[in-house]
Amino acid sequence: MVAALTLGTALVLGVVRYVGKKTLLVPHERLQVMRDELEKEVEKRTADLKMRTVQLSIEIRERREAELEARETGQLVSALLEGIGAAFLIINPDNNKIVRSNAVVHKMFGLAPWQLSEQSCLDLFSGFPDSMTAFSCPETINVETYTEGIAKHVDGHTFPVSRYLVPMEIQGQAHIGVIVFDVTERKNLERRLNVAQKLESVGELASGIAHEINTPIQYVGDSVRFVQEATSDIVEILKAEAELIKGCKDAGEFQELIERIEELAEDADLEFVIDEIPNACTRALEGTERVASIVRAMKILLTPVLGR
């Protein structure tokens, strides 16, 4: 703009000198015409310069606004990445140098900012496992965009991470954006979910087993109660039979039959059987009741697991 004004001023002075030299040679009318033409030309050039100046001012303002918007967008993206705990690296694939990084990288890997600035990514992670070096320092964007692996902090502890690759362009040159997330919490949640699913499967199996056990145990309990009740009646009959045998024996009747009955009773240890059958039934009922209580406890225990 300054050059244009200087050029216009020089042009006007040149014309004035020319007109001054020709004043004595040019008639007054012709001189007036030349002066008018000169004024019009000056006005035209001045208007053109003003228009160019306005256009230049608009371009400068638009460029500043675009730069400000780009800067604000970059700050917003950086804030968002840091807000979600994403470590961000920009790598120049030509020399594998780290062009830019955010604060999450420093915290996640325990590296100081000066260690990352314009440093070779391969040299920076040379002390780490080879898998982590390839994971953090891709040489080209033409690899798997998303992958998961194990990262290592400078203090030695390892942690699971996920990595995303994003193609970028800085000053017309292709770069690689590397976004890394610490997925320790997600992996813990997945493990807990896996355990919960296994517990649910075990719970369903145990619930089925408990149901299958409960039904026959009820049959056994009912049968033992029947035997217990029937035994008490049979015992009463046997007592009456013993009195009958005693009466026949005292009367001297049916001696052979009585002797046979006594031999069978002695062989079967009938007195012991009569005494122990009620006790056996009681113990059997206690056992079935114990099994039934275990089944009920299993159902109560499995209710939170099965969600019903």
Which residue, chain included where needed, has tokens 């499967």?
201
DSSP string, 203-240: HHHHHHHHHHHHHHHHHHHHHHHHHHHHHHHHHHHHHH
CA torsion angle 58 64 65 67 (round to 10): 140
Inter-CA distances, 87 with 32, 81, 146, Å: 77, 7, 15
Tokens of 286: 């206690």
Domain 84-182 is found in CATH 3.30.1490.70? no
Q: Which residues of the chain have pLDDT under 50?
A: 2, 5, 23-26
pLDDT at 5: 47
* Radius of gyration, alpha carbons of the chain: 52
Helices (H) and strands (E) in the chain, counts: 9, 5
- For the chain, the structural domain boundaries read 2-74, 84-182, 188-306
Cβ(19)–Cβ(31) below 8 Å: yes
CA distance 137 to 93: 9
| Partners of 98 in beta bridges | 91
**What is residue 2's predicted lDDT score, i.e. its pLDDT?**
45
Residue 290 identity (one-letter amino acid): R
Contact 93, 174 (CB under 8 A): yes
> What is the per-residue pLDDT for 161?
85
- Residue 110, CB-side half-sphere exposure with 13 Å CA sphere: 11
Closest CA to 81 of 168, 164, 186: 164
302 exposed, middle or buried (CB, 10 Å; 0-12, 13-18, 19+)? buried
* pLDDT at res. 3: 52
pLDDT of 54 reads: 82
Residue indicated by tokens 């997925």 = 183
Q: How many CA atoms lie within 13 A of 217 on its CB side?
A: 19
What strand order describes the sheet that includes 158-170?
Answer: 97-101, 86-92, 173-182, 158-170, 146-152
Residue 261: which H helix or E strand, with range? helix 255-268
Angstrom distance (rounded) from CA 39 to CA 59: 30
